[in-house]
Chain A
Amino acid sequence: MNSKKKHAVSVIARVIYVIALLVIWECVARSGILGPRSSLIFPSLEQIGEAFIKNFIKGYAGTSLWIYIANSMKLLLTGLVIGILLAFILSGLSMVSFIFFKIYDLTVSVFDLLPGIALLPVVIIIFGVREEVIVFLVVHAVLWPMSRNMLDGFNATPRIYVEAGKNMGLKGAGLIFGVYLPAAASYIVSGLKSGWARAWRGLISAEMIFGIASSPGIGLFINQMRTNMNNAEMYATLLVIIIIGVIVQYGILRPIEVNTVRKWGMTK
């Protein structure tokens, strides 16, 4: 098979797979084989579709899902920016001082293993039930995997790049920006991917555990649907979460990868 044909076949296979799943779902929903709870576990596709639209138009208690999404995104973005900046600064400093590297390496190893949610009680005591808690958890989710990847990337920089850099007169910060950072690009991109995935999950989890009335997020919306037994709306919100994830993955992260490490031949 040539690659074009192969591609077409793989697309068709995946489309058939998705349609089959939807058909099975609909059959289960209509048959009611799961008894009285059937419509709660498997609302029909039609109900979910309607709920999807209703979420945005009517929302919950007069607040559209758009508002919830906007709030979540604002906190997520703030956390991501802080986390990524911190990762760059702290990992960069680790390249300047060996002692700092050893200490930061230990810190990253320890905190990377700590789920953000487990920190929630402490963080709430520090900040109170406020937006800062969510931002903190997003920073926690992105900082450690990002730093781990950057440290690994810096340490994996081929000696020849470093010597070529020194040869042309680079030293200190110049060497970090001119050689170590770009040489670690593929590590940084994969750090971004895992950091984003963790932050997105951490955000939704934190919002589900406690909602902030002043700035309600997507996680809180799901929880409100749950308490009201609006299961079709709940499923529709899960769809929204997946769609946002896909948009970030293919609309932001993928282009970053294609325009850097792929273009440079540093990854296949």
Chain B
Amino acid sequence: MSKEALLQIRDLTKIYTDDSGEKTVLKDLDLDVEKSEFLCILGPSGCGKSTLLRCIAGFEEYSGSVSVDGTQRREPGIDRFMVFQDFNQLFPWKTVINNVAYPLSLNIKAPKAEIKERALEALNKVGLSGCKDQYPHQLSGGMKQRVAIAKALALRSPIILMDEPFAALDAMTRSGLQKEMLSISESEKNTIIFITHNIQEAIILGTRILVFGQQGHILFDEKNPMQRPVTPASEGYGELWEELHHALYEGSLPAKTSK
């Protein structure tokens, strides 16, 4: 693990306490994420992958540390911007452009026109500048998720956290958004941590893929060897899929690649 990793997570432990007792969701997790990496995290339900994202975002209390550029972060902040799975993450009382411009106006001192300009530019990147004056309730689920991504792009957040953002979309919209994410990740410099249940999505998008077992135990952690753009016909796709599938469903690596 290199010292200069953009995001450093050390000894992260998260325990939920409720009436039935304590539940350890994440245990002594160490993780480094390099700048401009597109990290996809796969894992079964309840493995703590969403909790990890919420801890990084600063929505949860935890023990251990999360550092960005060497500085500890515990509170939410725009250097780690979250794109939620829930379509309703946009404010319904603001137009599309204002949903993108509002976080900007809170965080940077710039003339109104400049902020609008920057928001519009971000909307352009997700192909939604034509809907800038609409309200969120007039958009489809896929469009709402694009606006949420545009918010992060406009803020130029160094780290974008995406918690299964496309999980509730239909297959066609999902595939369209994956293509868009791919081109965004190639043209922008943001580091992206992307959680998904979908092995194909992880292979298509990730430059590095992680598979979590229970309590955030890392079963698999490797750079994605495939050349972008990846399709199921790409060479090596089948083997990688098999490997990830095994790790995901059996909780271990296939015998031939086990170390």
Contacts and interface: CB of A to CB of B under 8 A. Distances in A.
A and B held together in a complex: yes
Interface of A: 158, 160-161, 163-164, 166-170, 174, 178-179, 182-183, 185, 260, 263-266
Contact of A166 (B59, B91, B93): B59
Nearest to B148: A164
B102 A266 contact: no
B107 to A, nearest CB: 6
Interface string B94-122: 00000000110011000000000000000
A160 B91 CA distance: 10
Given A160-B86, A161-B91, A168 B135 contact: no
Interface of A is mostly: helix
A169 B84 CA distance: 16
B78 interface: yes
A135 B122 CA distance: 51
Given A161-B91, A163-B59, A169-B76, A265 B136 contact: yes
A185 B91 CA distance: 12
Identify the 4 closest CB pairs spanning chains A and B, nearest first.
A265-B137, A168-B103, A182-B93, A166-B76
Contacts of B137: 264-266
A264 B57 contact: no
Given A164-B84, A168-B107, A260 B78 contact: no
Contact of B106 (A170, A182, A264): A170
Interface string B59-87: 10000000000000000111001101010
B89 A164 contact: yes
Given A263-B135, A264-B137, A265-B135, A167 B78 contact: yes
Given A263-B135, A265-B136, A167 B93 contact: no
18 contacts: A160-B84, A160-B86, A163-B82, A164-B84, A166-B58, A167-B57, A167-B76, A167-B78, A174-B106, A182-B91, A260-B93, A263-B135, A264-B92, A264-B93, A264-B135, A265-B92, A265-B138, A266-B93
Interface residues of B, number: 26
B234 interface: no
Contacts of B84: 160, 163-164
Interface of B: 57-59, 76-78, 81-82, 84, 86, 88-93, 102-103, 106-107, 135-138, 151, 155
A164 B91 contact: yes
Contacts of B58: 166
B81 A167 contact: yes
A125 B45 CA distance: 66
A265 B77 CA distance: 29
Contact of B92 (A163, A168, A170, A266): A266
Given A169-B77, A264-B135, A160 B88 contact: yes
Contacts of B57: 167
Contacts of B81: 167-168
A168 B102 contact: yes
A166 B93 CA distance: 17
Contacts of A166: 58-59, 76
Contacts of A158: 88
A158 B138 CA distance: 19
A170 B107 CA distance: 10
A169 B78 contact: yes
A174 B107 CA distance: 12
Contacts of A183: 91, 93
A258 to B, nearest CB: 13
Given A160-B84, A168-B102, A264-B93, 8 more contacts: A160-B89, A166-B58, A167-B81, A169-B78, A169-B106, A178-B106, A265-B92, A266-B93
Contacts of A264: 92-93, 135, 137
